[in-house]
Structure 1
Amino acid sequence: MTDEASPPSLFSGPAAASSRPAAPIGDARIVLPNVPVIVGGLRRAAVFTPDGELDTLAPAAAARMARGAHPIVCHMPATATRLGCAPFYAHDVLELFAFARPARFCLPTPRGLCSALALTIPNGLEEEAQALIACVRALLVEISQFHRRDATMARGTAWAMARGGWGWGNSVLAALGVHGEMPHRTNVAAGFRVWDHLPEINDFYPDAPPANQPVSAAEARARLAELLGDNAEARPQQADFSAALTAAFAPRDQQGTPHMVLAEAGTGTGKTLGYIAPASVWAEKNEGCVWVSTYTRNLQRQLDSELDRLHSDPIEKARKVVIRKGRENYLCLLNMEEAVSRLGADPRQAIALGLMARWAINSRDGDMVGGDFPGWLTEVVGRAATVELMDRRGECLFTACTHYNKCFIERAVRKSRRARIVVANHALVMVQAAQGGIEDGSLPTRFVFDEGHHVFDAADSAFSAHLSGGETAELRRWLLGAEENGRSRARGLRRRAEDLITSDNDAIDAMDAILQAATCLPGPLWNTRLLDGMPHGPTERFLALVRAQIYARCPDASGPYSLETETDPPVPDLLEAAVELEHALEILCTPTQAMIKALTTRLDTQADELDAAMRLRIESLTRSLERRILQPLTAWRAMLDALTEQTPDDFVDWFSVDRIDGRDLDVGMHRHWVDPTVPFAKSVAEAAHGLVITSATLRDGSGDAERDWQAAEARSGGIHLPSPPVRSVVASPFPYPDITRVLVVSDVRKDDLAQVAAAYRELFLAANGGGLGLFTAISRLRAVHQRIAPALDDAEIPLYAQHVDGMDVSTLVDIFRAERHSCLLGTDAVRDGVDVPGDSLRLIVFDRVPWPRPDILHKARRNAFGGRSYDDRLARLKLKQAFGRLVRRSGDRGVFVLLDPMMPSRLHGAFPEGVSVERVGLAEAVRLTRQFFQQQNS
């Protein structure tokens, strides 16, 4: 069920006519809905009726049946997409799986369900339709065997979900032994009250500062040998890599002069264990913590798994290893409580909230982005009661929250204070550095940045500023709370602060002034007013003129894509509006500073009276006022001043309208550093004692080794440090010339999508699946998908596509990894997030050379970093990263094809030494691809 779907009539008891008994399996409690099963394919659908008849229909006919039959399906949104219809109400087996096996993984396909349930894997749509019935039966049997405590809570949850219209309600309640009305002793609400079932958090105080003992190369090699075990194959490159990193763990000799190691480790080196070895030795010897930072969720999960080698005891690992993400990634228990409190007004929400509660009670850490939360659950039941329960607006009440001592986020924060290894991500590390430190104001002294080629992009995002409608409206919401309706959970500054300042008149006056000044920011429906030409207040007036300038200056404002233009020269009245807005923001800054001063004074004057919880709340509120108000306001005022003066040389300013399919979503002014590694070096690197930046693709492939290292130092911030980084390179152990081929197709016009689609079709067929298609634009991806789907369907090659299938990237990659003969189409997010060892990925087809988009920001950087050579470097690195997806472990083989006859030879350095780039026609490329795999399989 989704937000858009309409359920049938409300629950009418387990004996309702919509249920049918299952085939005898030894338990009369197992009943199935009396509805058909529908499995959608690319050009046909399989239908399995309650009478046992199996048929195939055209997608349109199956869609007509689905709208009134409430069928059993697997992943309703994806099924609707395959049938070419709007979402419909269905009995989604994934909902049943989420209820029966909360916080456990399965692929959201019939084959994936069967694999998770240890059932026979079906082959073809017809078998998949029949298999879904077997999955339903297996899950209902599991539910009927819940142990007593879980069964008691599950009954109450299922009862409320059934009353909310859950299609599985009758079947689940019957499996739980409920016939007729619920027993009076059953607490229906108990299963939704997640917080009642979570343990209190132990209070972890920070350790003393770590010691400064170095790690020797011999110690790193010895620890690596322990991690690998006695039977591991010899990998001298991995041991050399591990030894080289010890330079980053030497004691610092001078403040602001960290030891940086730039380490390129070719694919297959085993760099994860390679850096865990010296990092874990240093953490143990010095009783300190090393933060390991990644760019993608996939690598965070991989790291978590690899750390089992370091700590085989789960209890010890839970104490010494912490996975950290930003607050916006975790379930907020207060948001959950407020959503549950509204169930009486809208019982239908019980379906999604019941599944969320089942997950939260069983979750390891409450992480909803890459943890044990199934990403497909949001797609199946909607956003309102899933991802919107995270604290994405920074409205945490901290110790004022009744759930503070059970909070998932707080648990991770406190555990990280005593951990030896924290696995974080670049975004969290950068944002915390930009804000002056982690939650207690401190910064780690040792970092390992894996996927180091993304440091530049992560810093670019963290240290930029955006004076946009969305950002300013969000600040108003943070200050004033919900204004548009009574259902919003936005709490506002008054609720967060009033009990802290009840006896402080100065703080009360300052807060009142802040809330009054906040009305200068865009209010609800600001975007509609801009479109209608009726802005209200100084921020909206400024944004309206910005929008007018963009539409006046852009050569093609009628297209579907986002628009941008330079800030100079301004349209009439824009400078006056900027001055007015800057003055309004100054008025907001003044009482904010006064409130911070009042709170800081209280911490000093009442130091002997405040208990620890109250002190923590005051400190947290002070940091929030600084970070959420003063820091953005300072940046915005500087940007506005530049409109009347001049943008500093270190920055690039521009105006933009963000659009999706031609619809305006946001408008604003943007400021980025020309070189974002400047603030990275200052805020992160110089504050640390040592850091490792590692990747398989740190260096460019220009052919000039010294220039390639200089480029790596520039993109990592090493050139801004007082002492040069230590350079290390370890080659991949893979014999690429023997196991890969690189083909550039010379006779396909990249601007003719019919030709491009034909090339993808024939290459995917030649490889018999296992193909990853990469695109530089979403529109090109969709056009190719539409053209090649029928032929792949005829060949029984499953085809999945980002921006088409209604699933998030990580789910699509998981499916692609599991289905050996499937193909996947995607853009940059797929290229960066794919880790598919084995035969499931054996062919990569890139639609054209990935030249950087020539926008205003890129043009400024191009001028600063070397002109055409900068473009070449970026394109080579993207090609290098894409090629790196092809061979992930020993035994992997594959073909890389680029459909761009304009591929210049100076980009050939993107590929490993010894791999020749062959320019061939499409027919020859197809023949060579087919021949390559036939030879490998012979």
Structure 2
Amino acid sequence: MADKYVVVDVETTGNSYVKGSRVMQISAVVVENGRIMDQYTSFVNPEVPIPSFIKELTGIGEEEVAKAPKFKEIAGVVQSLLEGAVFVAHNVKFDHSFLAGELEAAGLTSPIKKTLDTVELANILLPEANSYKLEELSDQMELEHITPHQADSDALATAELLLILLEKAKSLPIETLDMLCKLSKKLNSNMLSFFESVRKEKDSLLENLPDDLDWFRGIVLKKKEIPFKETPIRSFDYPEKMDDKTKLLQPYLEKFEPRDGQFEMMDTVHDSYRTDRHAVIEAGTGIGKTIAYLLPSIYFSIATEEKVIISTYTIQLQHQILEKEIKVLKEAIPFSFRAALIKGREHYINMLKFEQTLMEPDSSYDETITKMKILIWLLETETGDMDELNLSSGGKLYWKRICNDGSFVDQYNDPWASHDFYLYSKKLAEHAEIIITNHSMLIADLKHQILPKSRYVVIDEAHHLEKSVRTNLGRQLDYQHIKFLLGKLGTTEKKKRFYVLEKHTAKLNASLSRDSFLVDRAIEDLEAETDDLFMLLSQLLKNYQSHKEKNRRAKLRVTENIRSSGSWQRVILCAERFLDFHKLILDGMDERLSLIKKMQTSLKPSELAFLEEMTGFYDEWAEIGQQVKYLLAHYVANEVIWLESDQKISANRTSIHRQPLNIDQFLAEKLFRVKKSVILTSASLTTNNTFKFFNDEIGIHSFDRIETRIASPFPYQQMVKLFIPTDLPDISATPMEEYVESIACHLIAVANAAEGRMLVLFTSHEMLRKTYELLCDSNELADFVLLAHGVSSGSRGKLVKNFQQFQKAILLGTNSFWEGIDIPGENLSCIVVVRLPFSPIDEPVTAAKLESIKASGKNPFSAYSLPEAIIQFKQGFGRLIRKKTDSGVFFVFDQRIMTTVYGKAFIKSIPSIGMEKGALSNLIPSVEQWLEKK
């Protein structure tokens, strides 16, 4: 390409040149004709102090810059480098603002005329990248990036990234480039110039569309393979013998070792299918349970031509099964089989809607970038599944407009039907032997069949099943969602749904029973009623909140006592007014949509796309009315209703929830009675050596089943040691502040002994936050990186990743950190359980369950609270040992594990390991010796 690029990175003393921060290192890499030609790097004396956190981040301090030139001394060199070039940086506004400021201060004019941001460019051209941070992109693209946060390394990595992005852009079809150029005009950056220069270069080349791509209605996308049913050339019997299984798997599984437990689980699953019985299998860490249930499932499916559904709790595990274990088994098993992954239809793009949004005259920045990103993604995706995309929050809002919600336009009317991704995923599932889905989709299928018919199901992470069913059968409603829909509905602005609907209806010259003026007034009235309804709910929550709850998220169970109060009656009256206005709006939409639907065969694609989007909106709006009726109706036995808000209990942060209390009957009728064989497996299903609690909760207790516990193959005695300090106060008799101080002091001692690499598990976010603040204030942990969920910025995944990057790191987590995180190896060598994980007895669902159990004549503590806490405790312990090479120490600070009768149940729930108890000062030498030995 003809353009000369100069890729620049500056390290600075702060974030703002205007506020006094200055450049302390600069590096510029010259890129011409698709090659790196030169690099200029210099430290710069910033003439201002360098803050300590900047020194820590960059490794640049006063020593490095003391003898370096001032910027004005190198300003001429910088200016000549930039002359006539496109200025490129990763987050170009930052680097540009500093260089422009420094050049002006040196009395020189900035020669920068064109800029290019590799963050923005990567966002478009690498739609599936996990992150657009330079360090993480470098890892993904396997770029050499030796010293992140130093200008020379950052600039060189950015230059190499630019070359990759240039090559990617040059590989794009001309039709896609044309659309990118059109969309780029809406951006403020020089992205248009970039894509136009690439497009111009393509003019001189005669290129045909590659065979794996298809051009349809102006959009280029990857062709879909038409699925067909494959029949095995010959029949293969399930490998009964251990040697046969070993020979099958050993060549294809890295570092494979025959494990009795894995083979036992395979045989149990096979027997369950063969005898049409259910199975409950607790499989310890290291068993290899995914392969253990997949292999017999595949053999059984091929032999009997019966589909097997595999259901997981998380979408990530869905992908892992398909991309890891299924991939291995396709190589290992001596016959072909098909596996398909299927999710809810809202995960898939609706091409008709997307096509029409490309023609919109004005879009926000986020929408435009997302449209460009999707155009690139369509060249690569075989699934059309949004989970492949890295979308901004604005991009996710745009996705809601273009997702496949299955509203109205069916495959006979939709011009894109032959390219529909959701229909394609269903075709793949119809032709597959193994169907991989998630608990949410499985439960939806139990209510209304949406998956291909199957009488055989594997439920992985089965300890989550009860909660998943309750969540999926329940409903919730919040202020923000209603206001968001009202904002989209409107009547006056051109992009508002009702305005456009009215415009389409007007063409038909039909008489309407509900004038648009009435609907307009109803929308305004509903806005006011929504404010009133959630104000009443938040006030009710505030009135009933106890003082001890003031520092955590507020929750209030709506009991019979509350329902009979005057406050609740005011809520019901307001809800009735809400429903009156809601129905008027709904009827107005319904009347207009019905008229347009009668004309669907003569509608243009743009009108069909609007009809699809509007019908989806209508369904969503109708659901709001159903939710208000359901959530605020009379009391229903076996259900729990509660209000929830933030700590300040503001109306716009308040929501109302309703869930069934027990789901055992639902699963008994819809799952266990209907399916021939359901396999339920997890590492944590038993309490007190029995499956009774789990079986009762999910309703399998009255069905014939196989039950088996398969112990982990790990030699835990040599890998883990349990430590219980006895010099901590009794939490029930100690003020919170005093108890947290004791916890913090103990954590400091343990952290120093373990040299970080420590996960601290809390049951209370308030206690976590107070502990974190004390640890931060202590000079004892100055060398440690402290991370805390809900306090430090970032998601759970980001915090775990950051934790793994530092040698001396401490991660404080609450509920979600007790399970589902995988930190193998030396990154984690110490877990501290601050309190035994009993659910707070005032949590709405817990409180209602305990009341119900007590009313039935049982002991609620032994029947529910204790077994639930034991399962959570086992999950927490399971974070420490993930591989046979792992080792570490497990601390329990809660004295109840030693002082109560039930405490022994927690110790018995984990593998048999060595244990020491005593004053912490006496335990520390043993901790150091144990970790040193390992």
- How many Å apart are 1:335 and its aligned residue? 6.0
Please tell me whether residue 807 in structure 1 is matched to residue 807 in structure 2: no
Q: 1:372-407: CA deviations, max 9, x gaps?
A: x34xxx4xxx41124642469985445366545434
Compared CA separation, residues 756 and 182, structure 1 to 2 (3 A): farther
After TM superposition, give the deviation of residue 897 of structure 1 in Å: 1.9
8 A Cα contact 1:781 1:826, kept in partner: yes
1:857 aligns with 2:827: no
Equivalent-residue separation in structure 2 for 1:191 and 1:35 (angstroms):
50
Q: Unaligned regions of 5+ residues in structure 2, if any?
A: 10-26, 68-86, 95-114, 208-212, 854-858
Report the residue type matching 2:883 in the other structure: R
Supply the AA of the counterpart residue of 1:912: I
Per the alignment, residue 712 of structure 1 pairs with 694
CA deviation after TM superposition for structure 1 residue 465, in Å: 2.9
Structure 1 Cα separation of the partners of residues 793 and 849 of structure 2: 35
Kept in 1, the 8 Å contact 2:41–2:151? The answer is no
Deviations 1:554-586 (A, max 9, x none): 234865622314343433274376378569859
Could you give the per-residue CA deviations for residues 702-743 of structure 1, whole angstroms, max 9, x where no partner exists?
Answer: 3xx3xx321120233213x5x233211111111112210122
| Structure 1 residues 62-97: Cα deviation after superposition (integer angstroms, max 9, x where no partner) | xxxxxxxx99669999xxxxxxxxxxxx99865555
Matches within 5 A, 1:590-601: none
Give the counterpart of 1:236 among 257, 260, 263. 260
1:931 Cα deviation after fit = 2.1
List aligned pairs for 1:394-543, cutoff 5 A.
395-397=405-407, 398-399=409-410, 403-434=416-447, 436-438=448-450, 443-466=453-476, 468-469=478-479, 481=489, 486=494, 526=527, 536-537=528-529, 543=534
Q: How many residues align?
A: 828
- The amino acid that maps onto 2:436 is V
Q: CA distance change for structure 1 residues 486 and 26 in 2, over 3 Å: closer, same or farther? A: closer
Cα deviation 1:141-195 (Å, max 9, x = unaligned): 223444843286569748965972448888x77996989x999999xxx999998
Task: Output the CA distance in 2 between the equivalents of 1:114 and 1:403.
Answer: 37
Match of 1:651 in 2: 639
**Change beyond 3 A, Cα 1:639–1:718:** same
Describe the shift of the 1:638–1:221 C-alpha distance in structure 2 as closer, same or farther (beyond 3 A).
Answer: farther
For 1:728 and 1:29, the matched residues in 2 are separated by 62
1:935 partnered with 2:933 = yes
Q: Is the 8 A contact 1:430 1:680 kept in 2?
A: no
| Root mean square deviation, CA, Å | 5.8
Partner of residue 9, structure 1: none
Q: Specify the code of the residue in structure 2 equivalent to 1:150.
A: L
Contact in 2 for aligned 1:103/1:362 (Cα 8 Å): no
Code of the residue aligned with 1:852 in structure 2: it is: S
Query: 1:326: how far off?
Result: 2.6
Pair 795,684 (structure 1): closer, same or farther in 2 beyond 3 Å: same
Q: CA deviation at 1:368?
A: 3.6
Give 1:861's aligned amino acid: K
Q: What does the per-residue CA deviation read over 1:276-310, in whole Å, with 9 as the maximum and x for residues that have no partner?
A: 01211122123332221111244223312111012
Structure 1 pair 915–184 and aligned structure 2 pair: CA distance change class (3 A)? closer
Determine the C-alpha separation between the residues in 2 that align with 1:40 and 1:416.
57
Give 1:103's aligned residue: 128
Q: CA deviation at 1:879?
A: 1.2
- SS of the equivalent of 2:827 reads coil
**Could you tell me the percent identity over the aligned residues?**
17
Structure 1 residues 123-149: Cα deviation after superposition (integer angstroms, max 9, x where no partner): 6x66x5543222112212223444843
1:253-291 deviations in Å (ceiling 9; x for gaps): xxxxxx321111111111000000121112212333222
Q: Call closer, same or farther: CA 1:484–1:827 in 2, change over 3 Å.
A: farther
Q: Report deviation, 1:792.
A: 10
Q: 2:161 aligns with which of 123, 130, 139?
A: 139
3-state SS of 1:844 partner: strand
Q: What's the CA shift string for 1:415-474, capped at 9, x where partnerless?
A: 22222222211122223323x1217xx653221110011011101101113355456667
Alpha-carbon shift at residue 113 of structure 1 (Å): 4.2
Q: 1:560 to 1:385 in 2, by over 3 A?
A: same
Counterpart amino acid of residue 156 in structure 2? A
Q: What amino acid does structure 1 have at the position aligned with 2:468?
A: A
Matched residue SS, 2:265: helix
Q: Determine if contact 2:170/2:198 at 8 Å carries over to the other structure.
A: no
User: For 1:696 and 1:346, how far apart are their aligned partners in 2?
Assistant: 47
Q: Deviations over 1:628-678 (max 9, x none)?
A: 688886675465442xxxx34322234x14226654444454332221232
Name the SS for the 1:239 alignment partner. Answer: helix
Distance 2:617 2:184 in 1: 40
What amino acid sits opposite 2:162 in the alignment?
A: L
Task: Tell me what 1:842 maps to.
Answer: 829
- Other-structure match for 1:564: 556
Kindly state the Cα deviation for residue 330 of structure 1 after the two structures are TM-superposed. Answer: 4.3
Q: Which amino acid aligns with 2:861?
A: R
CA displacement at 1:935 relative to structure 2? 0.8
Task: Compare 884-893 and 342-351 and name the one that shifted more.
Answer: 342-351
1:72-151 equivalences under 5 Å are 95=120, 97-99=122-124, 101-105=126-130, 108=133, 110=135, 112-119=136-143, 122=146, 129-146=151-168, 148-150=170-172
Shifted more, 159-168 versus 842-851: the winner is: 159-168
Whole-angstrom distance in 2 between the partners of 1:368 and 1:771: 35
Deviates more, 1:769-778 or 1:193-202: 193-202
What secondary structure sits across from 2:826 in the alignment?
Answer: coil
1:551 Cα deviation (Å)?
Answer: 2.6
Matched, 1:674 2:666: no
Residue 710 (structure 2) aligns with? 730
Q: Partner residue of 1:897?
A: 891
SS in 2 for 1:22: strand
CA contact (8 A) 2:807 2:827 kept: yes
1:289 aligns with 307
Q: Name the residue aligned to 1:886.
A: 880
User: Residues of 2 paired with 1:817 and 1:332: CA distance?
Assistant: 39
SS in 2 for 1:692: strand
Query: Contact between 1:560 and 1:663, CA under 8 Å: does it hold in 2?
Result: no
Say if 1:729 and 1:912 are closer, same or farther in 2 by CA, change over 3 A.
same
Equivalent position amino acid for 2:475 in 1: A
1:269 partnered with 2:287:
yes
Partner of 1:691, secondary structure, is: strand
Partner of 1:874: 868
TM-score computed with the length of structure 2 as normaliser: 0.72
1:218 match:
240
Match of 2:383 in 1: 365
TM score, norm. by length of structure 1: 0.72
Give the aligned partner of residue 742 of structure 1.
722
Partner of 2:78: none
Describe the shift of the 1:133–1:594 C-alpha distance in structure 2 as closer, same or farther (beyond 3 A): closer
| Equivalence for 1:81 | none
SS of the residue corresponding to residue 732 of structure 1 reads coil
Could you list the runs of 5+ residues in structure 1 that have no partner in the other structure?
1-12, 57-69, 78-89, 253-258, 527-535
Q: 1:801 to 1:911 in 2, by over 3 A?
A: same
Counterpart of 1:266, as a letter, is G
CA–CA separation in structure 2 for the residues paired with 1:910 and 1:55: 62
Tell me the residue number matched to 1:64: none
Instruction: Letter of the 1:878 partner, please give it.
Output: Q
